[in-house]
Structure 1
């Protein structure tokens, strides 16, 4: 894939300017430094762009919409008092890049950040939860942090491009169950890198519904949208129950 998608994190904070933020990072974020608009991890050499902007009066509402699961918490209320907004911009396209960007986000949270909104996915996380996920990246917590599931006329994932992988789409049946199945499927893609082809079948486990896997286009969110996935998508088509088999089997 010639075009690597950007992974963008939005982190509001109490910082009065870039020099204040740089000082906080030097004091609080072990191993990280901010020089100009580059945030760097001295241990790994990873670097991403940091753009600091003025406070945004609409940002608290944006966070509540993207993080309804913590909308009524004190942590969410704290965002009302932010003085500036840091945007971390770096490459997606692989698990390693996604993990590195998550750790960079944690460096800003350690330096006073009030939460993290994944602008390339559309989900927001409380600061303590973000740190907790970053401490468990070996357990694929980045998948939980960076991928969401949308239920409309169809049910589909958004955010797998952060790992360089296709999205997943399905239709019909119970929306909650469909989202749970797609969550399992997309994590399976990330963890095991299976070599699916059109016509292969997939099931969460023996005795569960079976789906035929077909390659398709990803949802088009419009030109320039950070949600767009250049890697396409897998459509999971429900099949009539048939004889038991493995989690996924090749078409015979």
Structure 2
């Protein structure tokens, strides 16, 4: 599988080496032993899920990366000090095609790595970061919070707003221009959740609106994704452009 076919999570931790990491995963699994590490694969026995992982040494750029990816989640400076003190990094990667089920499984696996000492989680394939406590809090209602964990829906590019991370569910991202931040973000969020939870069959020319009497938007295929040259962010499932067709007032 290529990078485009994977969900990738970055988890810095206190592990001195890979052996220490393997031991920590096993200890966090006691007494049931749900998660096991063999070679470069982490498995969850009850649901028969497997994840590739890459164990890496300390990365001097990690705190800076979390600071950038943590803007949307309001990561604080004291947490960045914790990241700065990390000794190693684990990159957890899905082994099945992206879907709601795959995203939930890897999110739960990341929770286990936090229990094993992980300091936080950065969703590489969305550019979004969380503290350990934020991740645990969202995982309490994972079926509701999974979108928030896996998608950044407020990437700005001049007068254009677009989402990044719907590829984690095997779905298209969305983009809108000239609507302003206050209208664009809830529009993209609601449209993306509509895709995720209603699973409609979409095609160019269809229309979408958030609420009765609200603005209507026509769908078209966006040929030039803003992040098309970045494998970690580009969406192989495409991107929907939403263009307003009425009413004209923008409030």
- The normalised TM-score by structure 2 is 0.89
Q: Distance in 2 between matches of 1:50 and 1:57?
A: 20
Structure 2 unaligned runs (5+)? none
1:95 paired residue among 100, 109, 112: 100
**1:11 maps to 2:11:** yes
Q: Distance in 1 between matches of 2:214 and 2:195?
A: 18
**1:46 maps to 2:49:** yes
1:137 is aligned to: 142
SS of the aligned residue for 2:91 comes to strand
1:213 is aligned to: 219
CA displacement at 1:92 relative to structure 2: 4.7
Q: Distance in 2 between matches of 1:138 and 1:167?
A: 20
Equivalent residues of 1:155, 1:169 under 8 A apart = yes
Equivalent residues of 2:4, 2:235 under 8 A apart = no
**1:187 maps to 2:193:** yes
Name the count of aligned residue pairs: 240
Equivalent residues of 1:218, 1:228 under 8 A apart = no
Deviation per CA, 1:150-208, whole angstroms, max 9, x where unpaired? Answer: 12131111110110101111111222321111011101110001122222211111122
Structure 1 unaligned runs (5+)? 243-252
2:111 is aligned to: 106
CA displacement at 1:114 relative to structure 2: 0.4
SS of the aligned residue for 2:246 comes to coil
RMSD between aligned residues: 1.9
Find runs of 4+ consecutive structure 1 residues off by over 4 angstroms.
none
1:77 is aligned to: 81
Q: Distance in 1 between matches of 2:229 and 2:200?
A: 30
- The normalised TM-score by structure 1 is 0.89
